[in-house]
Structure 1
Amino acid sequence: MTNELRPPRQDEGADRAGRRSDTSRPPRDFGPNAPPQRYPDPDIVVIDPKRFKAKVGNTAIKRLYTGCLWAEGPAWNAQGQYLVWSDIPNNRQLRYLDGDGGYISENFRKPTNEANGNTFDLEGRQITCERTRVVRFEHNGSVTVLAEHANGKPLNGPNDVVVHPNDGSIWFTDPGYGAIVLYEGQRSANGSVQPHQKEAVYRVDAHTGEIRKVADDAFKPNGIAFSPDYEKVYICDSGATHYPQARKVVWQYDLNGDKLSNPRPLIDMAMGDRSGFPDGVRVDTEGNIWVGAGWVGEGYDGVQVFAPDDGQRIGQICLPECCANLCFGGKKRNRLFMTASQSLYAVYVETQGAHHC
């Protein structure tokens, strides 16, 4: 399960594991008036060419927007052909409308109760993890609160959310990260922030509304995604932000109906002697696992791609900022959108997202 930063093979050409745009001279300009990028984009890194075949030779990483304080929770609406994402500290959500050059509404929703992760259900309704609850925006403009308490206690702070298409159930993580100054929970006598309850993953029954804890193995469960066949669930553990003993890993579970079993760390985020935090996660149609990662720096921050069978790192998309989350979108679900600190990035890939958003 080690992911060593190995020397590139000769057949990889310009690809270099660990190469970063900001190590070049001069640093790469991602802005709207940047000069054209020479193909193939050197910041799309092929580590294992036999397993990572998603790199497109004639496309480049584009910065679509900048000006956020912490960009999170991208979700693609297939009916409206637009992307929604959150700017948590600015208490707003933005929308990127595909076509006509990509129109951006900077205050699609404001205020948002410091919204974080988003998704859309099969009816095209947006589901959002707010600071203290999970809500759904109905087509008539009303808001339905899906979850605000569990186990008789307030939620710590919902983070990421997905919908199972077979039964409409809503699965969300509750690590307790805050939005602006404080993390969720209450300050203890020594000034630290304490969660209301053990950080966990929950399932909301679409028919009864029952909220049930399904896993609490991760110190702070963050991003969540289903495998293409819905037989596995992947959960990022970013608990090292608060728990020194926590490992920077992505957990894999077996999914049987409405239950998770057989938890085990599939992905170790270590690259040589460096290891960053796994945050958001998505899966492509081949089963490869795409993880937003960061807080390390050059050669690490961005998106890292792992094989589903053994969790080995097979590719990277290097960004000049930490990548909090990501999703596949566009008309063919082959455009990867990445929310990275202050900015929104996108790149076309030679694969498709396994799920609708």
Structure 2
Amino acid sequence: MRATTTRAFAALLLVGVAAGCSDPEPERTEQEGAQEGELTAELLTQVTSVHEETGMTLLEGPVFGPDGDLLVVDVPTPAGEPKVLRVDTETEEVSTVFTDDTGAYTSAQFSPLDDRLYLTDFAGGKIVSITAEGEDPEVFFSGDVDGSPMNPDDLTFDEAGNMYVSDSAGFDAPAWEEQGRVVRIDGETAEATVLAEDLPAPNGIAFTPDYSGLWVGLYGANRVDHYALNEDGTEVLTSHAAIHFDGGTSRIDSIAVDADGNLYQAVHGQPRIFVYSSTGEHLTTVNVPEDAASGLDTATNVAIAPGTTDAYMTVSGEDGGFVYAFDALAEGIRQSNGG
């Protein structure tokens, strides 16, 4: 969730807006318009329309639940309207999972500890969990970390259920005013510790397939860094700039990783996903059909159904919020299911 849209959304959400949305379902669009060597995603369904009060819609956080349905969040949804939605990828039916009055949810992932869905509340500075059915909301974490409030954006879990969160503090400040952090939150105690700080608005975050390292996308620098972690994931041993994204006015958003270690880099400001190998080679780009691109300006994230190559990307713009489907380069794992 980024760029001018992000700033507008944050300003609106922080003062508390209210409106409604609908769930139209246009017909599938045939694949067309891809450059040679690129992929064109196929329209699955429209999930949301632009909200009258906020003037936008922004789908994020795609994740497959235990029932096999795809869950997504809509960041600028007004109070009381659907904030977590379920998309049946077979019937294309869209239904409401969860809403509240104040949350501005930007990512979602299921914890391996309790199988609950954890949501980052960007504007509220907290982590909320619900059941897969959208019930029993609980605040898992809130408050300052080392004396500073958080803007939690994306999250990922290690195998033990500890949470790693990109704190995008300073997302609306000049890039040289580096205020962002990567924060580890213990899955049992909710104790928060800072793994990295003074970062230019970190956004996407995902483990490597073996959990030995983290990929961290820096929205303020259009760069993906790699962090090598110690054995229990409590310390960054080394880090380096790994991938530089030449996006012009667009900026990198969330990250997903498949079983082969490929990175699916979402982009705010372009309705496409850039896919890189773990060594930084640009493998392919996933586009929306050419005739849909003019009304869409952002692809925020990707989920690959675990154990398959069925991939789904959340795309939004003035035409609404949509889910598009494509074939991933490798199978989905936890690192490509939410965050």
* Equivalent-residue separation in structure 2 for 1:348 and 1:318 (angstroms): 9
Please say if 1:121 is aligned against 2:111: yes
Aligned to 1:328: 303
With over 3 angstroms needed to count, the CA separation of the structure-2 counterparts of 1:289 and 1:330, relative to structure 1, is closer
Query: Equivalent residue for 2:227?
Result: 253
In the alignment, the residues of structure 2 paired with residue 263 and residue 217 of structure 1 have an alpha-carbon distance, to the nearest angstrom, of 14
- Contact 2:109-2:118 within 8 A present in 1 as well: yes
Contact 1:236 1:279 (8 Å CA) reproduced: yes
Q: Deviations over 1:167-226 (max 9, x none)?
A: 210111111378xxxx6xxxxxxxx89xxx931010011233210000125311001011
Q: Give, in angstroms, the shift of residue 306 of structure 1.
A: 0.7
TM-score by length of 1: 0.70
Larger radius of gyration: 1
In the alignment of these two chains, the number of paired residues is 286
Tell me whether 1:355 sits opposite 2:328 in the alignment. Answer: no
Structure 1 residues 269 and 121: alpha-carbon distance in aligned structure 2, compared to 1, 3 A threshold: same
Between 64-73 and 204-213, report the one with greater CA deviation. Answer: 64-73
Match of 2:286 among 281, 305, 317: 317
Q: Trace 1:1-357 onto structure 2 (pairs within 5 A).
A: 32-33=26-27, 37=30, 41-43=32-34, 46=37, 60-68=42-50, 69-91=56-78, 92-98=82-88, 101-106=91-96, 108-122=98-112, 123-130=114-121, 131=123, 132-137=125-130, 141-155=136-150, 157-165=151-159, 167-176=160-169, 198-216=179-197, 218-239=199-220, 247-256=221-230, 257-258=232-233, 259-270=235-246, 274=248, 276-295=250-269, 301-309=271-279, 311-319=280-288, 320=293, 321-330=296-305, 332-341=307-316, 342-350=320-328, 351-355=330-334, 357=337
**What amino acid maps onto 1:343 in structure 2?**
G
- Rounded Cα–Cα distance in structure 2 between residues aligned with 1:252 and 1:129: 22
Could you list the runs of 5+ residues in structure 2 that have no partner in the other structure? Answer: 1-24, 51-55
1:143-187: CA deviations, max 9, x gaps?
A: 1332332012322x111111112x210111111378xxxx6xxxx
Offset from partner CA, 1:109-131 (integer Å, 9 cap, x none) = 24351111111112320101112
Structure 1 unmatched ranges of 5 or more: 1-30, 48-54, 184-191, 240-246
- Residue 280 of structure 1: how far off its partner (Å): 0.6
Give TM-score scaled by structure 2 length: 0.74
In the alignment, is the contact (CA less than 8 A) between 2:268 and 2:300 conserved in 1? no
Q: Is the 8 A contact 1:86 1:117 kept in 2?
A: yes
Q: Is the 8 A contact 1:159 1:173 kept in 2?
A: yes
Query: How many Å apart are 1:346 and its aligned residue?
Result: 2.4
Kindly provide the CA deviation profile for residues 276-307 of structure 1, in whole angstroms up to 9, marking residues without a partner as x. Answer: 31101000111110011142x5xxx4100011
Verify the 8 A CA contact 2:62 2:313 in the aligned structure 1.
no
The amino acid that maps onto 1:269 is F
Aligned-residue CA RMSD (Å): 3.1
Structure 2 distance, partners of 1:331, 1:236, is: 23
**Residues 277, 137 of structure 1: alpha-carbon distance in 2 compared, 3 angstrom cutoff:** same
Which whole-Å CA distance do the structure 2 matches of 1:281 and 1:209 have between them?
A: 24
Residues 283, 303 of structure 1: alpha-carbon distance in 2 compared, 3 angstrom cutoff: same
Shift in alpha-carbon separation, 1:164–1:112, aligned structure 2, 3 A: farther
Query: Is the contact between residue 233 and residue 254 of structure 1 (CA under 8 Å) also seen in structure 2?
Result: yes
Deviation at 1:66, TM superposition (A): 4.0
Contact 2:48 2:322 in 1 (8 A): yes
